[in-house]
C-alpha cells in the first residue's frame, strides 16, 4: 500500500487534493504554515484570499489540546478575507508535499481541502488550502469570546500550549507587516489585559 493509499483512509472520506501533473503548484498559509511550512518550496509570496477569514474556530484535541482539555486553533472560516503567504512547490515534490499537508491538516477531518484563488502582487494563483468544515463536530464557530479565551488559555497538546500558537501567529504576521487586529485583541484578552 502506498503512502497515498494509507492517507486516504486517514482522511475520513474527505477527498485528497491531487497536485497538477508535471507542474509546480501553490499552497496557501494563514497560520502555522507561515512560520513552519515543513515542505520544500521554490518561492514565497504574499497573498490575499477573498471569501474566507482567519479565525480561532476549531477545537484542538491533539496538537494544542486534549479531548479532556481542548484547545482552539485557527481555521479558514467563511466570509471576509485573509492575508497570508503562498508557497510555490516544485512539481517533483508534489505528491510528497500533498501527502505531508494532508497528514498535517487532516488528522480528524475538520478541514475541507480545496483549490483557492489567491491574489498576489503578480496576479492570481490557485493554491491548495484547507477550509474549516462548519458541519464537523470540532467546528467552534458559535462559541462566545469568553469561551474562546478560556480554551486558548487551557489548551496544551503535543504541539505545545495553545497560547504559544496564538503568539507565534501574531508575531509572524506582524513581522510580515500583515497585522491582524482581531488576533492582537484576542492575545491581549488571553494575557489578561483589559
* pLDDT, tens digit (0-9, with 9 covering 90-100), for 26-39: 999 999 999 999 99
Q: Work out the average pLDDT over 90-112.
A: 91
With a cut of 80, say whether residue 194 has pLDDT above it. no
At 103 the pLDDT is 87
The larger pLDDT score, comparing residue 61 to residue 13, is at: 61
The larger pLDDT score, comparing residue 181 to residue 107, is at: 181
Active site residue 189: no
Distance CA 37, CA 31 (A): 10
At 11 the pLDDT is 53
* Set of cell numbers at residue 69: 482539555
Distance CA 95, CA 172 (A): 28
Closest by Cα among 7, 56, 30 to 130: 30
At 12 the pLDDT is 58
At 60 the pLDDT is 95
- Cβ–Cβ < 8 Å for 165, 159: yes
Distance CA 96, CA 91 (A): 10
List the domains of the chain with CATH numbers.
Answer: 3-186 (3.10.490.10)
* pLDDT, tens digit (0-9, with 9 covering 90-100), for 105-163: 887 788 999 999 999 999 999 999 999 999 999 999 999 999 999 999 999 999 999 99
Among candidate residues 43, 93, 95, 105, the one labeled active-site is 105
In Å, how far are 24, 40, 97 from 92, measured between CA atoms? 8, 10, 10
Q: Work out the average pLDDT over 46-61.
A: 97
Amino acid at each position: 500500500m502506498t503512502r497515498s493509499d494509507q492517507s486516504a483512509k486517514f482522511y475520513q472520506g474527505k477527498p485528497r487534493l491531487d497536485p497538477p501533473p508535471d507542474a509546480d503548484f501553490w499552497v496557501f498559509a494563514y497560520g502555522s504554515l507561515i512560520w513552519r511550512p515543513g515542505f520544500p518550496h521554490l518561492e514565497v509570496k504574499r497573498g490575499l484570499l477573498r471569501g474566507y477569514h482567519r479565525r480561532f474556530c476549531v477545537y484542538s484535541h491533539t496538537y494544542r489540546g486534549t479531548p479532556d482539555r481542548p484547545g482552539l486553533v485557527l481555521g479558514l472560516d467563511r466570509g471576509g478575507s485573509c492575508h497570508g503567504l503562498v508557497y510555490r512547490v516544485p512539481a517533483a515534490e508534489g505528491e510528497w508535499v500533498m501527502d505531508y499537508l494532508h497528514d498535517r491538516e487532516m488528522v480528524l477531518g475538520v478541514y475541507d481541502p480545496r483549490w483557492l484563488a489567491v491574489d498576489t502582487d503578480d496576479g492570481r494563483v490557485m493554491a491548495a488550502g484547507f477550509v474549516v468544515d462548519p458541519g464537523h463536530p470540532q467546528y467552534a464557530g458559535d462559541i462566545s469570546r469568553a469561551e474562546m479565551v478560556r480554551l486558548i488559555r487551557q489548551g496544551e497538546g503535543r504541539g505545545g500550549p495553545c497560547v504559544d500558537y496564538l503568539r507565534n501567529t501574531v508575531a509572524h504576521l506582524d513581522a510580515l507587516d500583515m497585522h491582524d487586529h482581531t488576533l492582537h485583541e484576542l492575545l491581549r484578552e488571553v494575557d489578561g489585559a483589559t
